[in-house]
Structure formats: structure tokens, C-alpha cells
Amino acid sequence: MIDFGFTPFAAGVTDLDKANLSLAKQITEHEPSFNLCISCGSCSATCTAGQFTKFSFRVMCHQIRKGNTTLAIEEASKCMLCGKCTLICPRNVNTRNIIRLVRKAQTTTP
Amino acid sequence: MSYYHHFVIPFTAGLLFLVIVVAAKWIIWIKGLNNQQKRQVKGNIFTKKSLLATWEVLAESLFHRKVFKKNFLLGYMHMSLALGWFLLIAMGNLETRIFTHGQLNPPYVPIFFEFFEHDLSTLRYKEIFTFVMDFLLLFVLSGVALAYFKRATSKPLGMKQATKHAFVDKLALTSLWLIFPLRLAAESVTAGLYGTGGFFTRWLGEAIAPLPAIDMLYYPLWWAYSLSLGLFFISVPFTRYMHIPTETLLIFLRKYGIKETEKHTSYTQVELNACSRCGICIDSCQLSSELGISSSQSTYFLKSLRDKKATDYLTETCMLCGRCDYSCPVGIENSTIRLNQRRESPATGTSFGYVPAIEASKGKIAFFAGCMGQLTPSVTRATLALFDAADVEYTHIDKDATICCGRPLQVNGEENAARELAQKNKQLIEGTGAEALVTTCPICARIFAESYELSIPVYHHTQFLYQLAASGQLKLAPSNNLITYHDPCELGRGLGVYDEPRELLKFAGNLVEVKSSKTNSLCCGGSLAITSINQQQRNQMARKTLQSIGANDVDFVATACPLCKKTFTAASDENAILDISEILVKAFANTKQSSKPEQKQTAKETSTVN
């Protein structure tokens, strides 16, 4: 292995071949705009819930893509559905629908 | 004298079945009402309200007044079938009663009287009766002909789209359509053979009498007529035709003050069964007219709920804008039923433990800008500037941080989660000791007024500012600008506020009234009650709505909802879309500049300022 002078934390590494990406697939299928996200963070900046707690839609999307379903569901539970992020998103990601899909996944996945 | 023939059995059995089933259903529904609703029935049944309900039954169930308002031909079609059939039964009964000198006859006698009695010479007013009976039959047949025509093309009858019906409904429809042509055929053949009938059946009978073997059709036709009646009656409880007996009950219960609550009740069953699936809601729905989504409208949703097969798709594909509630000729509370269905199976898993208790300084008027207020600071600034101008002693309770009012969760069925947020906001509001709560957001105003159970009045800022302007506390000077007003769904159809925003705008300029306004106004497309449509679809709707309010022909488009403002602004860059408060600020500025020569601002300049 080439020595770059730094190594990634083992805990932060996701092996995408082994990760459970079923939630990401499910969301992409029902809400294709999920894949338009460029992680700019506008959603997090405007978030009503984000005023009071560590909550970020952008981070939740990363967790979904990495297969961290439990963490994603936990994040989604904080959302108040106010809709500001949908209005602010420069990529027209249908954020509220993604939140709803994650919340529904909680009742359907074991 | 007794009248009987075996062919009356299908009709009589069908009628008996129908009467028993309808009576049983009515009893079950009435017994199933909750205690509050039962008290409303008991308290009102022997009052004027029953008379008013009877009048409404006549006006709606027989004359179909509301359908007439929608389209003349559509109204005529329904009236000729309902009123014509009713009068045919009533006159038939009268005729046989008089003929048999007041004797009480079995129900099939008046229906098949032409078969039983060929010699009417002893009937008083014979000429009148035979004429009227033929005339009424023709009246009904004209409606049936229109109904055939409507199946081929519904546009001339004012409907772009008709409901796609289930198989049993089509079967019932066929039997209904056969009843009157068969009656005409049976009576005409009888007239040809025995010289009975009125001006039309006699004429038709005599015309077909020379045909070979016409007498062979005599019994088969009366059998067919009775069978079609029987088949129709038996099909009623299983099909959309259950609306005929149910609408009557619905009108009475509604007159007694019963409404949908926050849960399905047995009154909901009455509403579900009162839906005639006419499909008028499809045309009124923008999901259909703008986006081509024509499979989730109330007509389909209510049927699925009646069949206990409501899917997530049907429950959730609705903006809850309330347009179908106002277009529905039966007056069913479509949106409330849909919202209650969402409440039945909410997406779970919210945890708002992190939301802190917020405190605000005390003040006479508590002002709440809401989440959307944070996205439209110009609206908040303008409103507060007007408060200052009118010396209102206010406290801006969500200046530093806003807790969502809960309405977005509520409209998505997450009632408990919404209540959790409501509780936090309620503490905040009550902590200020304010005498009234004012908000710039109709979405917040709706849940404040309907679910918060506050001890102080809730005003939308247009209502509050109107009070200030009307009393002279807020001084405004109108300009020559042309202004069109867009009714937000939650403020108009939701809270019934139509007049104050309009009156306010008259203080600021010249209000242009458009056709699709008030209860008929279109949704901006920004609805928070639907999540499955994307931004492009929302923009498409917004552009159409702007067009409908004549946005291109005025200086300003006024709205009273920050979400409408955002949605319109995202969809169009050509119009100056402003909240009423922003327009009023200009009118207030005019009072200061009235001595100076008037500066005419163009719409373009203003839009860049804001």
C-alpha cells in the first residue's frame, strides 16, 4: 500500500460491495431526484429542526448511500416536514418525499 | 279485484330486497353515530331543520340544482331521470288509487298498470292521466338518451373526464338504461294490441301493430321490464347507485349539524355511500388537469375506502387543496375524509425530544412568522413595519428560532407528532400573555385555529391588518396599480377568509377580480400535503395558476401566503409577486409622499427590490 502519510479511520470506511443498499435502491426507485443531490448543504442550512439539534438532510443522504439504514432512520425521525429544504434545494431534490420514504422503510424493514 | 301475474316477481323481490338492505344500513349507520352526533340528531329532529333538509332533498336529489349549476345538460340529464322517475311513480300510484277507489294496492300494481287494466273508461280524469304518464315517460327517456350520449362523449355535458367504473357499476348502469326503453316497448305493444296508452304509446303501438307476430312480444316485454327493474334494485346496495337512498340521509344528518371529525365515524360511511361517482371531482383536480394524474381523485379514493381497499397511493396522491369539496354536487367532505385516512396509518418514528421550550418577551399581540416566514423575510419585515406604523404593541415570538406549527406533519397524517410540536408552540404563545395571535402564514393559521385550542383569537395578518386599516389606525394611500389576488388554499377554502385580503388591497390599489377566485381558486402547486410530485410538476401548476389570475395583465400579483409566494416566484420570473403586506407598505409610504409628485414604479423594478 502506498504511504500517503495518512490513513482513513476504519470506522469511517464503507465497503460498498458488502453494504446493505436496499434503502438507497428503494428510494431511487420511488424518488429518482435522490440522485441529483450534490451535497451542497443548503437543506441543512435552512432546516427548522437543525436550529435545535444536530440534524442534516445531507448527512442522512450519505448514510443512506453507505447503507447505514438505522442511522438514516434515526436522522429522519427529527424532521418536521416543514418543507423549507425542498424550496431551497438548487437541484430540486424532492427532500420531503425522501424523508417520508425513509420513515416508511422503518415500518417495513425488519 | 286483484291484480297479479308471475312476471311481477322479479320487480317485487328486488324492491323488497332493496328496502330491507337500505333500512338495515340506515339503522346501522344511525346507531353507529357517536354520542355527540346522536345528541345533534335528537336535538334537531323536531325543529325547522328537518323541514329545511326536506327542501334540500327536493332541490338536490330530485331537481339536482348543483349539477345544473355545473352544466345545464348534465343537470337536465340527472333531473329528468330522478324527478321524472319519481313523478312517474307518484302519478302511477295516484292513477291506480283513483281507479280502484282508494284501495291500497301492492307496489307492483301501479308499475304494471297498463298490463293489468286495459279498460280505463271508468277512470276519472282519464285523458289527463294517460297524457301525463306518457309525457313523463318521454321526459325520463330524454334523460336516458342524454346518458347514452354522455357515454360516447361527455364534453358537451361539461365534463372533460368521466369516472372509470367497476364492472358491477356498469352492470347496474345497463339495467337502469334498459328500464325505460323496455317500459316504452311493453306499453306500446300493449297499446297496439288493446288500444290502451296515451298520445305517444298509442301512436307507437298502432304504428307497430301491423308487424308480424307482435303479440308474441307481449309477455316477454313485460317480463323483461320487470327483470330490469329487479336487477337494478338488487344491484343498488353493491354499486354507486346506493347514493340515491343515502344522499337523503346525508342531507338530513348534515342539516342537524353533523360533520366529519378527526376520525372516521359512521357518518363517514354515510358520506362514502352518498358518493355517486359522477366524476365532477376529476375535472376540478389540478393533478388531473395539469399533470395528467387522473386515477387518485376523490371518486376513486372514496370507492376504495368504501370497499376497505384504500391504498397508500390513493390516500397520499392529493394536495388537500379542497377544490373537490366545493365542486362536489353531493357536498362530501372529501379532503377531511382523506386526511383522516392518512391519520389512520401515519409514517411513524418521529422524536422531537430535542425541541427546547422557547420563551418570548411579553406583548399585546403575539406575532408568529413560521418556517415559511424565515424563507420570506421581506414579508415579515413588511408586516412588522405596518405594525409599527399603526403603533401595535407586539412581540415577535419566533424571531430567533421557529418551531414548526405542526401543520405539515398533520396533513401527512402524523397527528401525534404534530401535537407534540403544537404543545411547545402553545406554551410559547401562552407565555407571552398576548391578547391575540397573528401569523403571516395561512398554513400555521389553520392549525392554530383548528387544533391548538388557544384561549386567544387567531388572526391571519390580512385579517388583523384589515381591522387596523378599517379603523383608521393604519393610514394607507392607494396608488393606481392594478393588482390581482390569489386565494391561498389554507386561507380561503381552509379558513373561509376571502373578503379581508380583498378589502385590504383596495386600500393599496385597484383590485382586479378574476373568474377562478375564492372557492374556485387554483392551488399554487406548493401544497405541503403531497410529497410525490416533483418541483417541475409544481412549477407547471404554478404557471397555470398565475395565468388563471391574469398575472400578465396587472402590475402586482398579491398573495397572502409565503409558500404561494415562493412557489410562484420559483415558477415565473416575469411577474411581481408580493405578499399583501409588502404592497401595503408601499401604500403606507404613499401617505408620506403624497405631497411630492407621484413616482410610478414599474412592476419590473419592484420585483428586483424584493
Tens of pLDDT along chain A (110 residues) come to: 678 888 777 777 888 888 899 999 999 999 999 999 999 999 999 999 999 999 999 999 999 999 999 999 999 999 999 999 999 999 999 999 999 999 988 766 54
Contacting residues of B for A92, CB less than 8 Å apart: 534-536
Q: Is the pLDDT of residue B63 over 80?
A: yes
Q: Is residue B352 part of a domain?
A: no
Would residue A14 count as lying in a domain?
A: no
Based on the fold, state whether residues B486 and B460 are members of the same structural domain: no
- Is the CB of B531 less than 8 angstroms away from the CB of A46? no
Within an 8 Å CB–CB cutoff, is residue A46 touching chain B? Answer: yes
CA dist., res. B157 & res. B146, Å (int): 9
- Indicate the DSSP class of residue B519: G
DSSP conformation class of A79: -
Q: Give the model's pLDDT for residue B598.
A: 46
In a domain, A53, yes or no: yes
A76, A81, A94: residue with CB nearest B534: A94
Q: Which residue in chain B is spatially nearest to A32 when comparing CA positions?
A: B534
Question: Choosing among B535, B564, B566, which should be mutated to test the A contact, i.e. which has the most A CBs within 10 A?
Answer: B535
pLDDT tens for B74-121 read 999 999 999 999 999 999 999 999 998 888 889 999 999 999 999 888
The larger pLDDT score, comparing residue B158 to residue B5, is at B5
Q: How many independent structural domains does chain A possess? A: 1
Task: Work out the minimum CA distance from A97 to partner chain B, whole angstroms.
Answer: 5
Of B402, B412, B570, the CB nearest to A100: B412
- Is residue A95 included in any domain, yes or no? yes
Q: Residue B440 contacts by C-beta under 8 Å, 6 or more apart in sequence?
A: B369, B370, B373, B379, B380, B383, B460, B461, B562, B579, B581
pLDDT tens for residues B7-24? Answer: 999 999 999 999 999 999
Is B213's Cβ below 8 Å from some Cβ in A? no
Q: Which helix (H) or strand (E) holds B26?
A: helix B8-32
Q: In this structure, are B145 and B68 located in the same domain?
A: yes
* Chain B contact set for A78 (CB, 8 A): 350-352, 354
Helix H or strand E encompassing B437: strand B436-439
Within 8 A of A53 by CB-CB distance, chain B residues are 354-355
How many beta-carbon contacts under 8 Å exist across A and B? 91
In chain B, what percentage of residues exceed pLDDT 70? 97
Last residue of a domain, one of B446, B465, B484: B465
Q: Is B347 on the interface with A (CB under 8 A)?
A: yes
Contact with chain A for residue B379, Cβ under 8 A: no
> Residues B201-207: what's their mean pLDDT?
93
**Per-residue model confidence as pLDDT tens digits over B533-546:** 999 999 999 999 99
- ipTM for the predicted complex comes to 0.91
SS (H, E, C) B89-147: HHHHHHHHHHHCCCCCCCCHHHHCHHHHCCCCCCCCCHHHHHHHHHHHHHHHHHHHHHH
- Whether residue B169 is predicted with pLDDT greater than 60 in this model: the reply is yes
Cβ-defined contact of A83 to B563 (cutoff 8 Å): yes
Q: From the CA of A12, how many Å to the nearest CA of chain B?
A: 26
Interface check for A103 against chain B (CB to CB < 8 A): the answer is yes
Residue A24 inside a domain? The answer is yes
Residues B438 and B383 in one domain: yes
Chain A contact probe: residue of B404, B424, B444, B530 with most A CBs at under 10 A: B404
User: Which pLDDT value is given to residue B601?
Assistant: 45
pLDDT exceeds cutoff 70 at B608: no
Given this model, what pLDDT does residue B248 score?
A: 96
pLDDT digits (tens, 9 = 90+) for B516-566: 899 999 999 999 999 999 999 999 999 999 999 988 889 999 999 999 999
* Co-location of B491 and B450 in the same domain: no
Of residues B274 and B575, the one with the higher pLDDT is B274
| pLDDT > 70? residue B126 | yes
- Do B512 and B460 fall within a single domain? no
Strand (E) or helix (H) holding B603: helix B603-609
What is the domain range of residue A99?
20-108
For A92, which of B350, B401, B534 is closest by C-beta distance?
B534
DSSP result, B208-261: HTTSTTGGGGHHHHHHHHHHHHHHHHHHGGGSGGGHHHHHHHHHHHHHTT----
Q: Is A28 on the interface with B (CB under 8 A)?
A: no
What average pLDDT does chain A have? Answer: 90
Whether the CB-CB separation of B94 and B113 falls below 8 Å is answered with no
Mean residue pLDDT of chain B comes to: 92
Quick one: B90 and B233 in the same domain? yes
Confidence of residue B171 (pLDDT cuts 50, 70, 90): very high
Q: Of the candidates B351, B355, B535, which has its C-beta nearest A77's C-beta? A: B351
Question: Across residues B284-311, what is the average pLDDT?
Answer: 95
pTM of the entire structure?
A: 0.91
Contact A77 B349 (CB under 8 A): yes
List all residues 6 or more positions away from B588 whose beta carbon is below 8 Å from its beta carbon. Answer: B385, B386, B389, B474, B475, B476, B477
Q: Does A72 touch chain B (CB under 8 A)?
A: no
pLDDT confidence bin for B594, thresholds 50/70/90:
low
Asked whether residue B578 carries a pLDDT value surpassing 90, the answer given is: yes
Q: Among B34-48, B395-409, B593-607, whose mean pLDDT is lowest?
A: B593-607
Structure confidence at residue A107 (pLDDT):
63
Residue B610 has pLDDT above 80, yes or no: no
Residue B76 lies in a domain: yes
Please give the share of chain B, as a percent, with pLDDT higher than 90: 84
Q: Mean pLDDT over residues B394-423, rounded?
A: 94
- pLDDT at position A1: 65
Query: Does residue B207 share a domain with residue B90?
Result: yes
Write out pLDDT tens, residues B241-284: 999 999 999 999 999 999 999 999 999 999 999 999 999 999 99
B262 is a domain residue: no
Q: Which of A48, A54, A85, A97 to mutate to test the interface with B (most CBs of B within 10 A)?
A: A48
In a domain, B355, yes or no: no
Q: B371 contacts in A (CB within 8 Å)?
A: 48, 80, 82-84
Pair B95, B211 in one domain: yes
Residue whose C-alpha is closest to residue B268's, from B484, B32, B77: B32
Same structural domain, B151 and B229: yes
Whether residues B39 and B84 fall in one domain: yes
Q: Are residues B513 and B450 in the same domain?
A: no
Q: Please check whether residue B536 touches A, CB under 8 A.
A: yes
Residue listed under C-alpha cell 394611500:
B477
What does the alpha-carbon distance between residue A2 and residue A4 come to, in Å, rounded to a whole number?
A: 6
Residue B533 structural domain: 476-609
Helices (H), B45-104: 48-56, 65-70, 72-99
Q: Is there a contact between B408 and A46 if contact means CB atoms under 8 Å apart?
A: no
